[in-house]
Amino acid sequence: MAIKATPIPGSLLLTPKDHALILIDFQSQMSFATKSIDAVNLRNNAALVANAAAGFGVPTILTTVAEKSFSGPMFGEITSAFPGQKLLDRTSMNTWEDAAVIEQVNAIGRGRIVLAGLWTSVCIVGPALSAIDQGFEVYVVADACGDVSAEAHDRAMDRMVQAGARPMTSLQYLLELQRDWARTETYEMTTGYAKAFGGAYGLGIIYAKSMFNAHEG
């Protein structure tokens, strides 16, 4: 039997209106021991995810652990994307066990959760497996997470994927929210974030625009 294709997006693709983002423990103390990704890439990728979410109006929870007593402030690249937003500070390593965070998740009321943060094997695995167990769909921005070793990060990603989590990257997250260059109302914003935080892809956009006045799409 022939299958008929239609020009509509797949249901597994994210949209700005179908998920909440939780950014977890992007803090100085946590980053010092992170070895699976270098600090520059980690900060750029975190900034790309944060700004994409803020720009597209994705409800976002910012949470820290022992901010004042041990782990230090959240990356400025993230907090600057959400000026004035309260950080939910926890004692629990598993964000999903924090009542204030869960209150926000329930207030947002979306069945898909996107996670990024430090460390992958503890502070991301915990909420990912807990949310999946409660019926949520979970996506993990793998290159906006980090751990004490590549082995720790990779095994954590394996464990989450085996449980049903869907891995993605920071640039993928941004472009999946845009998904069509004909969406002119967010075109400049999307390419602006790519130029600022998108590495070689961003340089390519700058070059093409400067040399040929080229335009995506």
Dmax (CA) for the chain in angstroms is 64
Amino acid code (one letter) for 60: T
Contact 119, 35 (CB under 8 A): no
Per-residue burial over 10-49, b = 16 or more CB atoms within 10 Å of its CB, e = otherwise: eeeebebeebbbbbbbbbeebbeebebbeeeebbbbbbbb
Among candidate residues 4, 19, 29, the one with its CA nearest the CA of residue 141: 19
- Tokens standing for residue 65: 């652990």
- Catalytic residue positions, numbered: 123
Among candidate residues 90, 44, 41, the one with its CA nearest the CA of residue 197: 44
Q: Chain centroid to CA 192: how far?
A: 18
